[in-house]
Amino acid sequence: MENEVKKELKEKQKKISFESYGVKISIEADCDIDFNLIKNCLADSLSREFNLVENQTSDHIFYINGDNFTYSLEKNKEKIVSDVSFEFLLDTLESKVRITVAEFAVGRVFLHAGVVAIDGKAIVIPARSYHGKTSLVAALIRQGAVYYSDEYAVLDENGYVHPFPKMLSVRGIIDQYAQKDLPVEEFGAVAGTDAVPVAMVLITEYVEGAEWKPEQLSAGQGIMEILPHTIPIRNKPEFTLNVLNKVAERAIITKTMRAEAVDTALLIKSFFAKLAFKI
Amino acid sequence: MNNPQAPTARKNGLVIQEMPDEVLVYDLKTDKAHCLNQTAAFVWKNCDGKTSVSEIVLQFEKQSGTKVEEDLIWLAIDQLNERNLLETNVTSKFAGESRRSVLKKIGFASVVALPVIASLVAPTAVLAVACSGVQTADSCGTGNCNRGTPCTSCSPACGAGFACGCSGAGATCECIATAGAKTAASKKG
């Protein structure tokens, strides 16, 4: 009887393996689940850097256990959530996979940041979620900047930033909290295709009525401000600090409070134009 | 009075990144990052276990071209000591004195930058994308604290504007927006 159950489970079990930014991941399930939906969701979430691979030995294994109504998720045998709906499972899986890729990406440093480029030079805006990162990026690309990302600044070993042009996740359309994914074209903008040097890192936070007073930070102070948004710092500190140092050697790191995104975007562009001859 | 101690800079278990006027040090044991300004970096680099504090003073004066009080160097050593950036603990020269009074005393007399070490704990991957210091990315993504897990283990806490709603037998964690009755479940961050 027990063997029959095990056999049945084995037959039901399904698996996909993929590689993203050099990170090898598998997702297994012991139940019938829509793997096509998962694949599409992850491919969008990882900005199409998603390559299915057969017979891969993965470093990170996600395991979905469930029946027709509720699901549980484990990562490397550690429970993440249990008894949740499929919608919630998908949200959690997407989020966990994306963070795993960002933490372990080979030869890349992922910062939680918005990125745009003007004249082939990047402006990186590190920020936590719910701190207006996307609003600022959206305002900048509406004013002509090239879109690179509203989620991650993906830095290579030379400190250049690569596009991570997933759709912009904008709040305030459905309601105050829910996000709606919009393609960059909706903003009358284009997405960057090439890696570009970082010319400016802007540390900023929305404060109602705040005055724009950019203060230039030293390289060390600047890196200390960027670190809280640096995903792989604990996993590969040496490589990460080396990359951040390369960014700091070239870029101006500045800090200021800011008011509304549209006004701030104008100020950023003007500030950037004045700096351009120095960069 | 000269202090005979000759402190030694710790080098093991650290990632050191040199910059033009600063040094960034990452402690692999504690996952803390420290940014040493020029004065603190000079003192740290000269803590070789052989050079006494009074000799470091002389070296500093030679490098900066100005006379400094030994207390300035001790202020750097104290901070290095506190952050576990020395091989062995040194006895502070300022034992019993408040940092404020020491700074006041040295600050007035000094024409060079006071030694400053800024420190922070490096975030975990999850916290680096979180809404606040206490939420996970999932809680950002869904506005909840480990939704689906039993109420006995609702952690980390929900962020500002949210409270963990848990009531009734067998209830599970969920962050509820405190302003109004809107739940943040299924909202993405």
Residue A127 token pair:
């920020």
Check CB contact of B186 with chain A, cutoff 8 Å.
Answer: yes
Share of chain B above pLDDT 70, in %: 63
Amino acid B189: pLDDT: 31
B99 touches B27 (CB < 8 A): no
| DSSP designation for A30 | S
User: What domains lie within chain A, and their CATH numbers?
Assistant: 2-104 (no CATH), 109-275 (3.90.228.20)
Confidence of residue B171 (pLDDT cuts 50, 70, 90): low
Answer for the pair A90, A41: CB distance below 8 angstroms, yes or no.
yes
**Is residue B177's pLDDT more than 70?**
no
CA distance B112 to B183: 55
Q: How many CB atoms lie under 10 A from the CB of residue B39?
A: 23
Positions of chain A with pLDDT under 50: none
**In b/e form, how buried is each residue of A52-80, taking b as 16+ CB within 10 angstroms?**
eeeebebebbbbbbbeeeebbbbbeeeeb
Calculate the alpha carbon distances from A262 to A132, A200, A206 in Å: 11, 19, 12
Q: How far is A220 from chain B, CA to nearest CA, in Å?
A: 6
**How far is Cα A26 from Cα A16, in angstroms, rounded to an integer?**
6
Smallest CA–CA separation between A95 and chain B, in Å? 7
Look at residues A126, A101, A128 and name the one whose alpha carbon lies nearest to residue A115. A126
Between strands A152-155 and A160-162, the pairing is antiparallel
List C-alpha distances in Å: A59 to A17, A35, A56, B67: 11, 20, 9, 57
Q: Name the strands in the sheet holding A71-75, side by side, starting at the edge strand that comes first in the sequence.
A: A51-52, A14-20, A23-29, A60-66, A71-75, A78-84
| pLDDT confidence of residue B183 | 32
Residue B29 pLDDT > 70: yes
B:31-90 residues touching chain A, CB 8 A cutoff: 31, 33, 35-37
**pLDDT tens readout for residues B57-87:** 999 999 999 888 898 999 999 999 999 999 9
Interface test with A, best of B16, B18, B23, B24 (most A CBs within 10 A): B24
* pLDDT exceeds 60 at position B3: no
Arithmetic mean of pLDDT, B162-184:
49
Residue partners of A13: CB distance under 8 A and separation at least 6: A28, A29, A30
The answer to whether the CB atoms of B138 and A92 lie below 8 A apart is yes
**Three-class DSSP labels, chain B:** CCCCCCCEECCCCEEEEECCCCEEEEECCCCEEEEECHHHHHHHHHCECCCCHHHHHHHHHHHHCCCCCHHHHHHHHHHHHHCCCECCCCCCCCCCCCHHHHHHHHHHHCCCCCCCEEEEECCCHHHHCCCCCCCCHHHHHHCCCCCCCEHHHCCCCCCCCEEECCCCCCCECCEEECCCCCECCCCCC
Return the pLDDT at A278: 59
| Number of inter-chain CB pairs under 8 A, A vs B | 142
Task: Tell whether B126 is within 8 A of chain A (Cβ).
Answer: yes
Displacement of CA B169 from its chain's centroid (Å): 42
Chain A hits for B33, CB-CB cut-off 8 Å, are: 223-224, 227, 233
Three-state secondary structure call for residue A134: helix
Q: What is the pLDDT of residue A170?
A: 78
Cα separation of A36 and A45, whole Å? 14
pLDDT at B165: 54
Query: Is residue B169 pLDDT above 80, yes or no?
Result: no
- The alpha carbon dihedral of B128, B133, B135, B141 has a sign of negative
Please choose, from the candidates B29, B91, B82, B116, the residue with its C-alpha nearest in 3D space to the C-alpha of residue B11: B29
Report the complex ipTM: 0.88
pLDDT one-digit tens code per residue, B41-64: 999 999 999 999 999 999 999 999
Q: Which residue do the tokens 């870029």 mark?
A: A251
DSSP A103-123: HH-TT-EEEEEEEEEETTEEE
Distances (CA, A) of A253 to A202, A212, A279, B52: 6, 15, 12, 37
Amino acid at B56: I
In the block, tokens 């299915």 appear at A52
Contact A42, A94 (CB under 8 A): yes
Mean pLDDT, chain B, as a whole number?
Answer: 75
Among A73, A96, A101, A231, the strongest candidate for a mutation testing the B interface, having the largest count of B CBs within 10 A, is A231
**Cα Rg, chain A, nearest whole Å:** 21
Give the Cα separation of A114 and A103 in Å (integer). 17
